[in-house]
């Protein structure tokens, strides 16, 4: 059981009295457009031991949480062989088309709900930071991703939300979308460094991130 929607974690926490001081959320047109993970949300109401263990980690260092989840993945494989490269090329076909009206409406609806949840936790005192895990540059620059990012830039503007940007890689992916273990580890470290830098800069200016 796993969560793939950006709003799932917020849904789980929504009815809890405990609110983390800092919430890091992956936010892109793929994760936001996905429906809430109902099975995971329903399981959370039973307070399963696994869920409670994850709850303990909410205030841990971000890199520890990210790397802890990544260690559950299959060990690093050879992502340069011809078979895997063909698989990535095939995956890229799905990114070539522009977003149609149905997907645009769905992304808008899900982003507005995501925005509501973020504002709710901000009103409860949490610092909410959004970030976007990099993909293969060919996917990032594709028609569908360009359309989705342009739409999200209007729905979740930097003037209203705390976006954390990490300098460009190079990053390597397993399947165009997911980072390899080595790149994921490097990205998590870069993300934490940027988060610390942003917090320090905000403190000096007398602001909160």
Cis check: omega of the bond before 170, within 30 degrees of 0: yes
Contacts of 160 (CB under 8 A, 6+ apart): none
Whether 1 is covered by a domain: the verdict is no
Tens of pLDDT along 77-125?
Answer: 555 556 566 767 777 888 888 999 999 999 999 999 999 999 999 999 9
76 close to 183: Cβ distance less than 8 angstroms: no
For the chain, the helix, strand and coil percentages under 3-state DSSP, each to the nearest 5: 55, 5, 35
**CA-CA distance, 202 to 199, in Å (whole number)?**
5
- Domain region containing 13: 8-204
Tens of pLDDT along 133-155?
Answer: 888 888 889 999 999 999 999 99
Whether 36 is covered by a domain: the verdict is yes
Whether 209 is covered by a domain: the verdict is no
Domain count of the chain? 1
């Amino acid at each position: 059981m796993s969560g793939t929607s950006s709003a799932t974690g917020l849904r789980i926490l929504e009815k809890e009295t405990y609110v983390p001081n800092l919430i890091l959320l992956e936010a892109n047109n793929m994760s936001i457009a996905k429906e809430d993970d109902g099975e995971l949300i329903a399981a959370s109401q039973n307070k399963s031991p696994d869920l409670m263990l994850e709850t303990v980690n909410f205030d841990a260092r971000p890199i520890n949480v990210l790397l802890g989840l990544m260690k559950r993945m299959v060990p690093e494989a050879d992502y340069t062989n011809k078979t895997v490269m063909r698989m990535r090329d095939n995956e890229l076909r799905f990114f070539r088309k522009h977003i149609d009206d149905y997907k645009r409406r769905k992304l808008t609806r899900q982003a507005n709900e995501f925005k509501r949840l973020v504002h709710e936790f901000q009103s409860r005192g949490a610092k909410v930071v959004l970030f976007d895990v990099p993909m293969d540059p060919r996917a990032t620059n594709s028609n569908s991703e360009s359309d989705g990012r342009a739409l999200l830039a209007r729905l979740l503007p930097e003037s209203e939300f705390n976006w954390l940007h990490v300098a460009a890689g190079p990053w390597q992916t397993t399947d165009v979308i997911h980072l390899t273990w080595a790149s994921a580890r490097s990205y998590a470290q870069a993300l934490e460094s940027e988060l610390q830098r942003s917090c320090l800069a905000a403190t000096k200016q007398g602001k909160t991130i």
